[in-house]
Structure 1
């Protein structure tokens, strides 16, 4: 059973190494800045593959057969996971479908991880807005991680 509506232009699948390579080469600028700020000196491909390696669940998001993003969740403790997502530049060209799918994707992840917590780069206004729209609750203080300051945020079932 799909988590998306029948008429959705987005489909879930299992990403391949080719999908990771494509995404690393065509990553949206806001994601590039976040990853480079946290992992100075590492290639985008290596950063994505490390997240894939440590994740319990990993999916690709496809539109017309083309990878749009890869997301997963890394276990932190029993029932708690840290979600991550990287999108292609195409996400910024048509963000509405991705925004609509986001809550359903998070609901799916929360079947395994009732609490999801993450760190959001304070410089990334798209990410901050998206997390708020998806129901994350933010702690007020910011913490420096790598090059930038980050908000700590939670989403609970």
Structure 2
């Protein structure tokens, strides 16, 4: 590990992590949240935390920097909605972030048959990461006047 690389630790998310991340959220994530829901970062993270069956936080050098989880879209058919919101620490520690995130989809597919959500078409870094993870992205659709891609992984015949 290089001297500039952060030590990254994954923990079960706690309510205290929400404000720490929301106050320093990446501009692209802020824009995506607002375009999709009109929510503030604090409101969006709080909502996602409360409505997800599984939520984790990545601590970079002990500081909450990324929170992600999956909400149940349809528990009868096993469809989950993965989400991730973070700070600029992700971009500053991209190799460490890629290393810790590479197995997330396969771990989630052990619990869900299909993972599905939307990503803002302007959020190019997140789109590249989703494609790197192996998600399929649809052509953009308009939501609240902004282009979004549906992204999916798993059994699309659910």
The verdict on a shared fold, with TM-score over 0.5 as the criterion, is yes
Match of 1:45 in 2: 42
1:133 Cα shift? 0.4
1:106 Cα shift? 2.0
Other structure's SS at 1:112 match: coil
Match of 1:142 in 2: 140
What per-residue deviation string (whole Å, max 9, x for no partner) do you get for residues 80-114 of structure 1? 10100001111111111111222212222221113
What per-residue deviation string (whole Å, max 9, x for no partner) do you get for residues 34-62 of structure 1? 1111122x321111111111101011111
Distance in 1 (alpha carbons) for counterparts of 2:95 and 2:113: 26
What per-residue deviation string (whole Å, max 9, x for no partner) do you get for residues 108-149 of structure 1? 22211131011111111101111100000122x211112411
Pair 1:25 & 2:26 matched: no
**Aligned with 1:64 (options 55, 61, 67):** 61
Match of 2:126 in 1: 127
Alpha-carbon RMSD across the aligned residues, in angstroms, is 1.6
Other structure's SS at 1:55 match: coil
Q: Within 5 Å, which residues of 2 pair with 1:36-115?
A: 36-40=34-38, 42-77=39-74, 78-115=77-114
TM-score, scaled to structure 1 = 0.87
Other structure's SS at 1:83 match: strand
